[in-house]
Structure 1
Amino acid sequence: MAAGGSILVVNAGSSSIKVAVFDDGLRATLSGAVTGIGGRGEIRLGTDTRAADLPDHTAALAALLEALAGQGITLADLRAAAHRVVHGGASLTRPHQVTPEIREAIAACAPLAPLHNPHNLAAIDAIAELAPDLPQCASFDTAFHAGNPALATRYALPDIEATRGIRRYGFHGISYAAMVRGWTDVTGTALPHRLLALHLGNGASICAIRDGRSVATTMGYSPLEGVTMGTRTGSIDGNAVLHLAETLGIEAARHMLNHKSGLLGLSGLSHDMRTLEQADSAAARFAIDHFCYWAARHSGSMIAAMEGLDAIAFTGGIGENAGAVRDSITVRLAWAGDVPVHVVPAQEERRIASDAAALLDGTA
């Protein structure tokens, strides 16, 4: 392990792993991805791309480490591997260096995020096998919202064994934490007292940030709740979900709600906002309008949670790049007053690297 070496940031999904390398000054030096895990896949690192057999996450990360070495970054050059973990539950409310106990706590949260945590954990286990002496750290998407008040997090359910752990957790917390940390450097202004932050991408959420802390957010028990998203419905009546489960079966209903709905379901064309903006169809226009309407409507709820509004910030792929979408949302919020609107580039990976550096330096 290099004491002042680079940090490898790992964001693992079911069939892909995104990576970035940050030097000891937290500057990104290289990025890439492994796709097609589970079969014949592809490794992209910087400008180099090659095909490879990638039966599982261990094979994918082994190929990735080999590719890094080919570009002059060996295990000896790495200080740590730092992971994005989607769900930390009620106990993992800050970044942690991965120990056997933390690994088990991440695994215990897998039922809360079955589409995410098992894959995050697979990458942690793969690196532990491939590079057992390399420290690993984890940052949690739920952690930024851990201080939300009980009024914001509790569903109106009875307190019985069956409802244990069912509460609003919130997600995209690493993105929001990065926004708060880098606010002045990016905008040249002081962090507003009441900031409405919209992380808009294929997954989308909104956060009410008061004095740098989350007080409410739109995602809930899972990343399904809240605004219209690329393939997720956003908020939907529980009885409608039960009807779908009874009609289609639980797994088919789950798949529809998470993978076949949102912009894709409304347009019948695509989950990609760029494709919809270029399409000349009523369904595509309706999907975009639906996205903007519900983003503005949920924003009103976040403004109420903050008891006012001093600034708006957009981040994420859609938030940063779709100017017409930003305009449509802000026009619908004109009633809240004439406040500054900022576009803040997402810096989740840098935040994860920063968390890891702080843990290893003992300054976290």
Structure 2
Amino acid sequence: MSKTLIVLNAGSSSIKFVVFDVTEGKPVNLATGQIEGLGASATVFSAKDGEGQSFGERNFDKASGGISNHAEGVDVILRWIDETFPGSEVVAVGHRVVHGGVRFTKPVKIDDTVIAELEKLIPLAPIHQPHNIAGILAAREAFPGVPQVAVFDTSFHRGHPFYNDTFAIPREFYNEGVRRYGFHGVSYEYVTRRMKQIAPLDAEGRVVIAHLGNGASMCAVRYGHSIASTMGFSALDGLPMGTRCGNLDAGVLLYMLDQKGYSSSEIRNILYTKSGLLGLSGLSQDMRDLEASDTREAREAIDYFVNRVRREVGALSAALDGLDAMVFCGGIGENSWRVRERVLQGMQWIGIDLDEEANHRNARLISSPLSRVRVYIVRTNEGLMIAEHTLDVLGLLVKDVQQAAE
């Protein structure tokens, strides 16, 4: 009987999943899919095999019962896996959890105590954490007795020096846990490990990684370890994102409270769901739509996004005392040659010289032979990173996989 591992990434209205064959002690991708529109009038299930070929889509509408919550969504995924891979045994489930707080600095096996601690962190990630926990609870119900592991987006950043970990507010807040946690850590860890295979000398140097997508951030990595991140206490900080604001003067929040009379929930809704590329353009949160548009607002939204990325290249390079390599990943970072080109134009002062032809075809190395700083595109794989951590925590990962990932 083959053994499978499921990776779940539960959001507010979606569940992304990856199915791995782990019979030989190493994860082999069998399928990737998602359920979108949980609780909506129409819910869509879609999946692709390990080669990217579609298994097709299935629509669930209210008339057929729909999929109203995470428990029902996980049940649909389980039934689909049983139908698609008959005879396989689910031996573990790995979960992406956005916030691990101060305590969780590495992946952990989930039990009642861990869940209780994760619930305490909901105020630190109110948009993400409750849904991550809902996915865990749904999976526990669907797979009773099957071990589950939480892998945290914040863990990769927990070694920051104090001055990159704090805010200049009374220290009592820092002691309470108000810190610059940083996020997208699963992606950064995967890219960092992949760089050790692609370009081991650069991987041991000073590297800026730009994870650019609907969620966007950047990270300064030295000797394979995160030392600074554009994201801070919450997933709102730093770069503008699809619908999130990014860096914002705290005085704007006071203005919204005092002058506009907005409640905290109204402000939260504006900053998390109505801002970023969507708010600036009034058109879309999707960079592809903005690049295809000829409106002034779309151009200005892209201008703002590019300018903030360029500023952070300089800031993070200063945090590293220089720059040896830069890496683009994420949906925008991996696929938009226009954004990469605009970010890197005129960057010769920092040692970057772009190879435009290589950039246009999304090559792995997009800097020219004249460039002192090498620039790479690395396709991130958070699902694989979570799968390897899950097997490792449970003692099921074969040694050669561990060594290859280190």
Q: What's 2:44 paired with?
A: 42
Q: Any residues of structure 2 matched to 1:143-162 within 5 Å, and which?
A: 143-160=155-172
Q: CA offset at residue 193 of structure 1?
A: 0.5
Q: More displaced, 292-301 or 48-57?
A: 48-57
Is the 1:186–1:344 Cα contact (8 Å) retained in structure 2? no
Is the 2:166–2:174 Cα contact (8 Å) retained in structure 1? no
How far apart are the structure 2 equivalents of 1:36 and 1:268?
22
Q: CA offset at residue 332 of structure 1?
A: 4.7
How far apart are the structure 1 equivalents of 2:156 and 2:95?
16
How far apart are the structure 1 equivalents of 2:173 and 2:164?
21
Give 5+ residue unaligned stretches, structure 1: none
Counterpart code for 2:47: L
**SS of residue paired to 2:95:** strand
Over 3 Å counting, the alpha-carbon distance change for 1:159 and 1:22 in structure 2 is: same
User: Normalization by structure 1: what TM-score?
Assistant: 0.94
**Structure 1 position 81 matched with structure 2 position 93:** yes
Q: What's 1:281 paired with?
A: 295
Q: What's 1:69 paired with?
A: 82
Q: What's 2:392 paired with?
A: 358
How far apart are the structure 2 equivalents of 1:237 and 1:22?
44
Q: What's 1:57 paired with?
A: 70
What is the percentage of aligned positions where both structures have the same residue? 39
Q: More displaced, 339-348 or 99-108?
A: 99-108
**SS of residue paired to 1:51:** strand
Is the 1:187–1:342 Cα contact (8 Å) retained in structure 2? no
Q: More displaced, 14-23 or 42-51?
A: 42-51
Q: CA offset at residue 164 of structure 1?
A: 1.7
Q: CA offset at residue 28 of structure 1?
A: 1.2
Q: What's 2:20 paired with?
A: 22
Q: More displaced, 54-63 or 215-224?
A: 54-63
Is the 2:243–2:279 Cα contact (8 Å) retained in structure 1? yes
How far apart are the structure 2 equivalents of 1:94 and 1:68?
29
**SS of residue paired to 2:270:** helix
Q: CA offset at residue 161 of structure 1?
A: 6.1
How far apart are the structure 2 equivalents of 1:22 and 1:72?
11
Is the 1:86–1:117 Cα contact (8 Å) retained in structure 2? yes
Q: More displaced, 330-339 or 50-59?
A: 330-339
Counterpart code for 1:312: M
Q: CA offset at residue 281 of structure 1?
A: 1.5
Counterpart code for 1:259: T
Over 3 Å counting, the alpha-carbon distance change for 1:29 and 1:186 in structure 2 is: farther
Is the 2:214–2:243 Cα contact (8 Å) retained in structure 1? yes
Q: Any residues of structure 2 matched to 1:1-364 within 5 Å, and which?
A: 5-24=3-22, 25-39=26-40, 40-46=42-48, 47-52=55-60, 53-73=66-86, 77-160=89-172, 164-186=176-198, 190-246=202-258, 247=260, 248-338=262-352, 339-361=373-395
Over 3 Å counting, the alpha-carbon distance change for 1:23 and 1:190 in structure 2 is: farther
Q: More displaced, 259-268 or 159-168?
A: 159-168
**SS of residue paired to 2:308:** helix
Counterpart code for 2:386: I
**SS of residue paired to 1:102:** helix
How far apart are the structure 2 equivalents of 1:159 and 1:211?
30
Counterpart code for 2:279: G
Is the 2:243–2:277 Cα contact (8 Å) retained in structure 1? yes
How far apart are the structure 2 equivalents of 1:175 and 1:332?
28
Q: CA offset at residue 294 of structure 1?
A: 0.6
Counterpart code for 1:262: G
Q: More displaced, 278-287 or 187-196?
A: 187-196
Report the aligned-residue RMSD: 1.8
Q: CA offset at residue 73 of structure 1?
A: 4.7
How far apart are the structure 2 equivalents of 1:161 and 1:137?
30
Q: CA offset at residue 56 of structure 1?
A: 1.2
Q: CA offset at residue 261 of structure 1?
A: 1.1
How far apart are the structure 1 equivalents of 2:151 and 2:229?
18
Is the 2:182–2:234 Cα contact (8 Å) retained in structure 1? yes
Q: CA offset at residue 334 of structure 1?
A: 2.7
**SS of residue paired to 1:45:** strand
Q: CA offset at residue 256 of structure 1?
A: 1.1
**SS of residue paired to 2:103:** coil
How far apart are the structure 2 equivalents of 1:333 and 1:229?
23
How far apart are the structure 2 equivalents of 1:263 and 1:343?
23
User: Normalization by structure 2: what TM-score?
Assistant: 0.85
**SS of residue paired to 2:203:** coil
Aligned residues: 361
